[in-house]
Amino acid sequence: MPLPSSGTSAGIGNEGKRSARPGRHCSTHRSIRLASPPDAALSFRFFVNHFHAMKSSASTTKFPQPEIGRTMNGADVVVESLHREGVDVIFAYPGGASQELHQAFARSDKVRVILPRHEQGGVFAAEAWSRANGKVGVCMATSGPGATNLVSGIADAFMDSIPLICITGQVFSKFIGKSAFQETDFFGMTLPIVKHSYLVLNAADLPRIFKEAFVLARSGRPGPVIIDIPKDVQQAKLTPVFPATVEFANKSLTEFPQATDDQLNGILDLISKAQRPILYTGGGIISAEASAELRSFAEKTNIPVATTLMGVGGFPEDHTLSLRWFGMHGSAYGNWAVDQCDLLLCFGARFDDRITGDVNKFATSATIVHVDIDTSEHNKNKRVQFPVASEIKYALKRLNELATAAKFTPPDTKPWHTQCAAWKRDYPFSYEESRHIVPQEAVKVLHELTNGDAIITTGVGQHQMWAAQFYPFKEPRRYLSSLGLGAMGFGYPAAMGAKVACPDKQVIDIDGDGSFLMNIQELATCHIEKIAAKAMILNNQHLGMVVQWEDRFYNSIRGNTILGDQNNIGSPDNLEGIYPDYVTIAKGFGVKARRVHKREELREAIQEMLDHDGPYLLDVIVPYTEHVLPMIPAGKSVKEMILK
Ligand SMILES: Cc1ncc(C[n+]2csc(CCOP(=O)(O)OP(=O)(O)O)c2C)c(N)n1
Ligand SMILES: [Mg+2]
């Protein structure tokens, strides 16, 4: 088996007709696994699953030279490699196949190891840690059931392009393929949801693999990388060589596309001729740290900005040019503006179905420009006239330079701005007040009391949408939510991870009663580890979002959407029926908690939560009858948007 010098050995010829997705594994282009391990003499004894674009080197200033370490075991090499990548915290749950690694962490004081109470909590926490601070999050689990518990988090990181390293223990290499105790083929199982993966079969490869893995996870379009390490590799004694940088043989994978000046001048030309331009921006702006460039571009060209939910905070939502976020439950004005624009500039977003609805009826009068680092996103969901392959930060920076150099003056689009402003004035996100606390009001009060400056995490459901509707964000990395995957249970572990990343910020999980229950065990982690993650549960006693679909499309027939006793449904008018009792549960975990159901107590109860110096659970009892509006039913178009 011939080997490339970089060690990226498998997957040759698997790229199909489409271009490889920069920095991204493509599930439709599955790699060919090595039939047998490569030549042992060359020592590249690991499997990799795909080629990716990546930066060619990853030197850290702290460790600029390659270094030979002392003699240690493979597990110690893992700890040292993480330390060299600047990792100071990981979320890790032990077991037989990862115990050596935990022992190595115990021997070292370089990395804080947080024990989540479920591996899913650990991976969501690591992911949110990354979403909050932009660095690569790390989690770890044992083989078999520990590893499989990570799968939702890996899929989540893949969907939302979050840089993540998942280390898993694996059974002894001699047992691989023998259905050994707690053996699962984790490498195989995760292939469609990773950016890259390794099964390490030689401990000497560990330093290079870790260095590569971090480069891969964070570069290009970020994503999750798994490193599966058999127990004998963890136990092997070696004198490791820690590289300062890694080189990748395929240079086309080490260079990211940058738009040409011709392309960018073409965009400016389109803008100068447009009467109704709109910027549609996504998570790419946030992962590329390109918010400042986006803002100056929007201001220079005087173009209104509508973001996706992934892009929330990438452009300040209180800016006059902001149309907030659009899509299924987004602003009516954002949706109308995108529907009626004549030039749509999609920057760092991917035409997700929750954005487009019926793709054939999406932005039909617009010329569409799509700037993205990942060319496989071009023309994937929506045919566009001008696909531009580029790092978004570069494209925006260069657009600004070209516009300044050319003394670019935006065309007169006053009627368009007047129209957008009228829509914005007449159709804001709104709700009707009630004698009860309605969920929207709770979010609004939280926004007021935190001055819009908290980090908000969410579960999945109605509360997730209300959090984004009624808590406007001025900065990126403040609304952390499972968006592509839509994984219930994300909220509280995410708040835990974000609080570890940003200890000086208020971090509040705005959660649903259904979602919160899915990872409630992380209250224990927060209590024991003294992580002051707060949870504000909008407790409607139902799987509210599914109930909303039942009400709208299934004649209100309940199909297992009531979370308590269906003969005694809890509500603000029937407090006896409320189930479960979150306050008592929190008490069992040692976490301070309070239930609030009276409007007049809401503000003071939220303030108490904010003032508490530790984890806190605020159980807000709300009616289940509210619907998230506006709503564009799945697969429909803006014309069918439900406003009332
Ligand atoms: C793990 C998982 N299972 C099922 C779903 C489907 N689902 C989407 S929203 C929802 C209801 C969520 O209820 P809750 O957390 O109470 O939030 P609410 O809508 O009531 O605010 C369900 C079941 C999901 N998104 N994730
Ligand atoms: Mg609910």
pLDDT level of residue 21 (50, 70, 90 thresholds): very low
182 catalytic per annotation: yes
pLDDT per residue as tens digits for the range 195-249: 999 999 999 999 999 999 999 999 999 999 999 999 999 999 999 999 999 988 8
Which of the residues 181, 448, 553, 566 is marked catalytic? 181
* Residues near ligand 1 (Cβ within 6 A): 459-463, 486-489, 512-515, 538, 540, 542-546
Q: How far away, in angstroms, is 503 Cα from ligand 2 center?
A: 28
pLDDT at residue number 197: 96
pLDDT at residue number 488: 98
| Ligand 1, atom nearest to 540 Cα | 20
Residue 42 confidence (pLDDT) above 90: no
Query: What is the residue type of 140?
Result: M
Sheet (strand 386-389) strand order: 322-325, 305-307, 277-281, 343-347, 367-372, 386-389
pLDDT per residue as tens digits for the range 606-620: 999 999 999 999 999
Q: Say which residues have a Cβ less than 8 Å from residue 180's Cβ, sequence separation at least 6.
A: 171, 172
pLDDT per residue as tens digits for the range 130-144: 999 999 999 999 999
Average pLDDT over residues 556-571: 98
**What is the architecture, at CATH level 2, of domain 9-253?**
3-Layer(aba) Sandwich (3.40)
Residue 46 confidence (pLDDT) above 90: no
Query: Is the CB of residue 114 less than 8 Å from the CB of residue 83?
Result: no
pLDDT at residue number 249: 84
pLDDT at residue number 79: 98
pLDDT per residue as tens digits for the range 87-135: 999 999 999 999 999 999 999 999 999 999 999 999 999 999 999 999 9
pLDDT at residue number 35: 26
Ligand nearest to the Cα of 467, by number = 1
Ligand nearest to the Cα of 546, by number = 1
pLDDT at residue number 2: 28
Query: Is the CB of residue 46 less than 8 Å from the CB of residue 198?
Result: yes
**Residue 451 or residue 28, greater confidence:** 451
Nearest to 479 by CA among 134, 127, 128: 128
CATH class of 439-621: alpha beta
pLDDT at residue number 64: 87
Residue 442 confidence (pLDDT) above 70: yes
Please state the φ and ψ torsions of residue 115, each to the nearest 5 degrees: -90, 105
pLDDT level of residue 511 (50, 70, 90 thresholds): very high
Q: How far away, in angstroms, is 382 Cα from ligand 1 center?
A: 28
Average pLDDT over residues 34-58: 30
Residue 33 confidence (pLDDT) above 90: no
pLDDT at residue number 251: 64
| Ligand 1, atom nearest to 464 Cα | 21
Which of the residues 55, 231, 444, 592 is marked catalytic? 231
Q: How far away, in angstroms, is 627 Cα from ligand 1 center?
A: 14
* Domain extent listing, the chain: 9-253, 261-424, 439-621
Q: CA 393, CA 373: separation in Å to the nearest integer? A: 10
Query: What is the residue type of 288?
Result: A
pLDDT at residue number 464: 98
pLDDT level of residue 61 (50, 70, 90 thresholds): low
Q: How far away, in angstroms, is 410 Cα from ligand 1 center?
A: 44
Which of the residues 99, 103, 182, 258 is marked catalytic? 182
407 catalytic per annotation: no
pLDDT per residue as tens digits for the range 551-562: 999 999 999 999
pLDDT per residue as tens digits for the range 371-412: 999 999 999 999 999 999 999 999 999 999 999 999 999 999
Give, rounded to a whole angstrom, the gap between the first and last alpha carbons of the chain.
64
pLDDT at residue number 203: 98
Q: Which of 41-45, 53-57, 345-349 has the highest mean pLDDT?
A: 345-349
Helix or strand holding residue 232 (H, E)? helix 231-235
pLDDT at residue number 62: 80
pLDDT at residue number 390: 97
275 catalytic per annotation: no
Average pLDDT of the chain is 91
* Crossing angle between the packed helical segments 414-426 and 332-340, to the nearest 10 degrees: 150
| Ligand 1, atom nearest to 516 Cα | 15
Residue 465 confidence (pLDDT) above 70: yes
For the stretch 442-469, what's the b/e string if a residue is b when 16 or more beta carbons lie within 10 angstroms of its beta carbon?
A: bbbbbbebbebebbbbbbbbbbbbbbbb
Nearest to 337 by CA among 456, 423, 212: 423
Question: Percent of the chain, pLDDT > 70?
Answer: 90
- Extract the tokens encoding 177: 């393929």
Q: Does this chain's domain 261-424 share its CATH topology with 439-621?
A: yes
Neighbours of 133 (CB within 10 A): 15
Nearest to 337 by CA among 375, 300, 307: 307
297 catalytic per annotation: no
Q: How far away, in angstroms, is 141 Cα from ligand 1 center?
A: 26
Return the CATH fold of 261-424. Rossmann fold (3.40.50)
Residue 439 confidence (pLDDT) above 90: yes
Q: CA 232, CA 129: separation in Å to the nearest integer? A: 31
Query: Is the CB of residue 301 less than 8 Å from the CB of residue 271?
Result: yes
Bond into 580 cis (ω within 30): yes
